[in-house]
Structure 1
Amino acid sequence: MTSTMNTHDRGATVEQTGGPKGSHSGVEGHSINHLGNFPADFAWGLATAAYQIEGAATEGGRGPSIWDTFSHRPGGTRNADSGDIACDHYYRWATDLDLLKELGVSSYRLSVSWSRLQPGGGGELNQEGVAFYRAVLQGLRERGIEPYVTLYHWDLPQELEDLGGWGERETAYRFAKFAVQTVLALGDLASKWITLNEPWCSAFLGYGSGAHAPGRRDLNIAVRAAHHLSLAHGLATAGIRGVDPSAQIGVTNIVTDIHSASSSPEDQAAAARLDAISNRVFLEPVFHGRYSSSVHAALDDYGLQDAIEPGDLATIHAPLDFAGINHYQRVIAHNDPSAPFSVREVPAQPATTSFGWSVVPESMTAVLERVASEFTTLPLYVTESGASYHDYVDPNGHVIDTERVDYLRRYIDAAGEAIASGVNLKGYFVWSFLDNFEWGEGYSKRFGLVYVDYRTQERIPKLSAQWYTALIGAHHALNARNYTSA
């Protein structure tokens, strides 16, 4: 696929060139076995996050977020990379949406930037930010693409962090107000809202290990942050219901498939602890209205029980319309008294992505079946799944990412197996649409189905983009045949 797209206000032309035409082993012969399991109205999508693609960090009234501060701090990110420019999507959004349409997706998951819409984390919304997101959402509608809008994808306004960030309950109330204001401003253009993306990362990477912004290293604060993030979700859900009863609301959690390193009681207990602090701590209060004894056992020494106030769990347990699941890998848990929570985790084998993450497709089936059987009967969406590889542009101008094609084929097929077992899966959003700023790893990891040359901002759809477009087309054709035969 080839298209020439004009940039906005940049005076340049972006040439977008896909993989080779015709029969290529990366596309032909890579069908999936369970395509017929996916319902006719299945949401085939791609996903991004604001800080990772937008750029224009100081433009349009945007204020600093914790990621601006963290990425400009010495040692914060690989190669001192930041999202100052990223994919320049703030100016190239229209041509990026054209490319989305060319790829044939029916749905697109994006996030709004809290620091662009409400720079200080309070007060009235920034109307330049509102206008930007209204233009993007309207553009998606005009192209026949359904938006799924994430309200918080890690870019906390720095002013709120200066007041204590997610370690303070007040941040949860501030977020709820922001969520209501955003839905009031944009709700006529979007009906599907995701309150939070991967609160585990916000809490434990941001405040525990310090690997993510804001870069703090205090497990007690991390545990309080975990509870306050869940509280923020519940408060925001109730607030949105109050102003837009037709809104469809969900939350996205990363769900990891955890196995013990051995059958020893110590390793099995370590796996249970890791499950408690990775999966259960967020899934249980949202879907069961409680923290189990295993979560309390793992986290009360770090202040979980002290953070809970009367009514919190009922608030967090607000009714939802769907549940988002981000899944990337299987990990192996070892008992290790020298590690945080006495657990050392390593990727399962084979660990073949450029991140060193495992590629075990049956883990996708396992986590979908687990969430559906243990936590909720709500419709499920895979809101992120993907893999990073060492992609490059070959001498013919193509990006032949056969590893990613194989990954997608196997993981999407695994999702189809989950559907066959009774899981009510309604959509699959591949991470990600574009190569982008990969948080602490800067620009060193590429997840996109579209290659981005960060110097020129050229977009080059990879072979995996061709494959995904072909898969979506095959699914549509299959349903058309079924409809005609019926």
Structure 2
Amino acid sequence: MNPTPKFPDGFLWGTATAAHQIEGSPLADGAGPSIWTRFAHTPGMTVNGDTGDIACDHYRRWKDDVALMRELGMQAYRFSVSWSRVLPEGVGRINQKGLDFYSRLVDELLANGIEPLLTLYHWDLPAALDDRGGWLNRDCADWFAEYGSVLYRALDGRVKKWVTLNEPWVITDGGYLHGALAPGHRSKYEAPIASHNLMRAHGAAVQAYRAIGAHQIGLVVNIEPKYPASDLADDAAAVARAHAYMNEQYLHPALLGRYPGELQEVFGHAWPEWPVGDFDLIRQPLDFVGINYYTRSVTRAAETYPLNAEAVRQDDALYTETGWEVFPQGLTDTLLWFKRTYGDLPVYVTENGAAFPDPERVENGVVHDPLRVEYLRSHLRAVHAAIEAGVDVRGYMLWSLMDNMEWSLGYSKRFGIVHVDYDTLERTPKDSARFYSRVVSSHGAALAGGDGDAEGTTRTILALPGQ
């Protein structure tokens, strides 16, 4: 039996979603298309040709979804805004109907005692801006600051926690290097340019907030800790490259004002010389950083593009439907690494969750998902362990509130604690929703007991770079 964990006073418990994954109606009420509207409608780019045209129909069912959050006892809701819903051309003309949608959503959240955490950008660039070069165009910093300013003026005060970008690594690795995500480019030369411009845009949006807003703003990154597959020097070097590419490429410039040296090795002659003044823009004071954690990677040297590194599957491990190893210790290690590397900046776990083989249809009003329950239990214990070790973790946003469009995977993977029947759009809380609701209402005490990974498995904790 585990002792009852004690989370800090004021620790914020919530869930997370993204606009394109749940809203549907992407062109309704004067909205413009995004790169994901375009990408999903391109044959062969998503599983089964799935699109976000309907998704979870949150654009029309938002009141019911907020009521469901209230029923589950959620204290916070992290959501994103569709840029092209508010600014159909990306800049200039404001679509008031689109802005009003988010204003009503924020008001409804507050009326139900739920704090909004608003993410400006979760991957859905207006198609009109992509036609102008998207994140490859240095003007994107000005575009993003203008967009952010529209929302700051409309919502700051009601919204007190803002996020600029969600997972810039995924945007560039999937969208500009490997082509698996919108806008579907495949270029080793474009990827670092897009990454750098994303960080410039982040800095410009923070600057704009400091001029208008009066509360808090931060950046959200996805971290996947890398552990060496052996004691070989080649594997250690592969870990260093993979760690710099995925975990330091965005935090270093945002918080330290420089890139990790390994990126020159990763990209070779495709790595540009950046203007020194760009880092003055990128490195803006932040109020917090959000960390998204799903899995780890045990890494070895290999002849693979572009890192000369590859992940090694672990024979004794449980893997999710997306092929990610369940490894809660990695979340503790990640949070400790962040504190050692970047200091005592407050942290939120802004995404954490898993896709497991849930049923397509609900029978008798219940959805049993014991693997997800244990996933949540073990990972929340991992968060608590980091807090006990001195990391200033302020909250936890579970991914995801409901099953949704999992980007290029379409509707084939279910991450939600609420089941969505994609034919009827009926919402049904799963066992994991009821479990998480108990955790929230007990401020973590419900994590005591159980037979999750933290109790049932003994593992060797390998060292992250810098440990």
> 2: CA distance between counterparts of 1:443 and 1:77?
9
**Aligned match for 1:225, one of 162, 181, 194:** 194
SS in 1 for 2:442: helix
> 2: CA distance between counterparts of 1:424 and 1:124?
41
Amino acid at match of 2:108: G
**Aligned match for 1:454, one of 422, 439, 459:** 422
Moved >6 Å (runs of 4+)? none
Matched, 1:281 2:249: yes
> 2: CA distance between counterparts of 1:182 and 1:241?
13
Q: Provide the identity percentage.
A: 44
**Aligned match for 2:95, one of 98, 102, 126:** 126
Matched, 1:395 2:363: yes
Aligned to 1:367: 334
Aligned to 1:291: 259
Matched, 1:249 2:217: yes
Amino acid at match of 1:382: V
Matched, 1:76 2:75: no
> 1: CA distance between counterparts of 2:365 and 2:441?
25
Aligned to 2:311: 345
> 1: CA distance between counterparts of 2:353 and 2:280?
34
SS in 1 for 2:397: strand
Return 184-193 or 440-449, whichever deviates more. 184-193
> 1: CA distance between counterparts of 2:4 and 2:141?
41
Structure 1 unaligned segments of length 5 or more: list them: 1-30, 479-486
Q: Given the superposition, is the C-alpha separation of residues 32 and 43 from structure 1 closer, same or farther in structure 2, using an over 3 Å criterion?
A: farther
Aligned to 2:181: 212
Return 79-88 or 293-302, whichever deviates more. 293-302
SS in 2 for 1:169: coil
Q: Aligned ranges for residues 138-157 of structure 1 at < 5 Å?
A: 138-157=107-126
What do residues 362-418 of structure 1 show as CA deviations (whole Å, max 9, x unaligned)?
Answer: 001000111111123111000000000111245323100010000000000010000
Amino acid at match of 1:463: D
> 2: CA distance between counterparts of 1:207 and 1:213?
8
What is the RMSD computed on CA atoms of the aligned residues? 1.5
Q: Aligned ranges for residues 12-51 of structure 1 at < 5 Å?
A: 33=3, 35-36=5-6, 38-51=7-20
**Aligned match for 1:408, one of 376, 380, 387:** 376
Q: Given the superposition, is the C-alpha separation of residues 476 and 355 from structure 1 closer, same or farther in structure 2, using an over 3 Å criterion?
A: closer
Q: Aligned ranges for residues 442-481 of structure 1 at < 5 Å?
A: 442-475=410-443
> 1: CA distance between counterparts of 2:202 and 2:148?
9
What do residues 80-133 of structure 1 show as CA deviations (whole Å, max 9, x unaligned)?
Answer: 001010000000000100000011011110000001111111103210011100
**Aligned match for 1:311, one of 266, 277, 296:** 277
Amino acid at match of 1:391: D
SS in 2 for 1:76: coil
SS in 1 for 2:93: coil
Q: Given the superposition, is the C-alpha separation of residues 347 and 52 from structure 1 closer, same or farther in structure 2, using an over 3 Å criterion?
A: farther
SS in 2 for 1:226: helix
Q: Given the superposition, is the C-alpha separation of residues 402 and 280 from structure 1 closer, same or farther in structure 2, using an over 3 Å criterion?
A: same
What do residues 147-183 of structure 1 show as CA deviations (whole Å, max 9, x unaligned)?
Answer: 0000000000011111111122112221111111111
After TM superposition, give the deviation of residue 298 of structure 1 in Å.
2.6
Amino acid at match of 1:339: Y
Q: Given the superposition, is the C-alpha separation of residues 421 and 464 from structure 1 closer, same or farther in structure 2, using an over 3 Å criterion?
A: same
**Aligned match for 2:350, one of 379, 383, 408:** 383
After TM superposition, give the deviation of residue 261 of structure 1 in Å.
2.1
SS in 2 for 1:60: helix
> 2: CA distance between counterparts of 1:338 and 1:132?
45
Return 384-393 or 441-450, whichever deviates more. 384-393
> 1: CA distance between counterparts of 2:102 and 2:443?
31
Aligned to 1:91: 60
Aligned to 1:28: none
Matched, 1:64 2:33: yes
Q: Given the superposition, is the C-alpha separation of residues 348 and 185 from structure 1 closer, same or farther in structure 2, using an over 3 Å criterion?
A: farther
Q: Given the superposition, is the C-alpha separation of residues 33 and 68 from structure 1 closer, same or farther in structure 2, using an over 3 Å criterion?
A: farther
Amino acid at match of 2:386: A
Return 205-214 or 350-359, whichever deviates more. 350-359
- TM-score, normalised on structure 2? 0.92
SS in 1 for 2:191: helix
What do residues 225-263 of structure 1 show as CA deviations (whole Å, max 9, x unaligned)?
Answer: 11111111111101110112x120000000111112222
What do residues 38-91 of structure 1 show as CA deviations (whole Å, max 9, x unaligned)?
Answer: 112110000000000000112011111110111011110000001010000000
> 2: CA distance between counterparts of 1:374 and 1:320?
15
Matched, 1:185 2:185: no
After TM superposition, give the deviation of residue 264 of structure 1 in Å.
1.5
Aligned to 2:458: none
Q: Is the 8 A contact 1:53 1:87 kept in 2?
A: yes
Matched, 1:336 2:305: no
> 1: CA distance between counterparts of 2:2 and 2:200?
40
Aligned to 1:10: none
SS in 2 for 1:190: coil
> 2: CA distance between counterparts of 1:237 and 1:34?
39
Aligned to 2:171: 202
**Aligned match for 1:171, one of 133, 140, 149:** 140
Amino acid at match of 2:12: A
Q: Is the 8 A contact 2:289 2:345 kept in 1?
A: yes
Q: Is the 8 A contact 1:330 1:348 kept in 2?
A: no
Q: Given the superposition, is the C-alpha separation of residues 304 and 399 from structure 1 closer, same or farther in structure 2, using an over 3 Å criterion?
A: farther
Equivalenced residue count is: 444
Q: Given the superposition, is the C-alpha separation of residues 410 and 32 from structure 1 closer, same or farther in structure 2, using an over 3 Å criterion?
A: farther
Structure 2 unaligned segments of length 5 or more: list them: 447-467
Q: Is the 8 A contact 2:141 2:200 kept in 1?
A: yes
Matched, 1:438 2:393: no
> 2: CA distance between counterparts of 1:191 and 1:90?
23
Amino acid at match of 2:266: A
After TM superposition, give the deviation of residue 476 of structure 1 in Å.
7.7
Q: Is the 8 A contact 1:204 1:223 kept in 2?
A: no
Q: Is the 8 A contact 1:227 1:304 kept in 2?
A: no
> 2: CA distance between counterparts of 1:176 and 1:327?
27
Q: Given the superposition, is the C-alpha separation of residues 70 and 32 from structure 1 closer, same or farther in structure 2, using an over 3 Å criterion?
A: farther
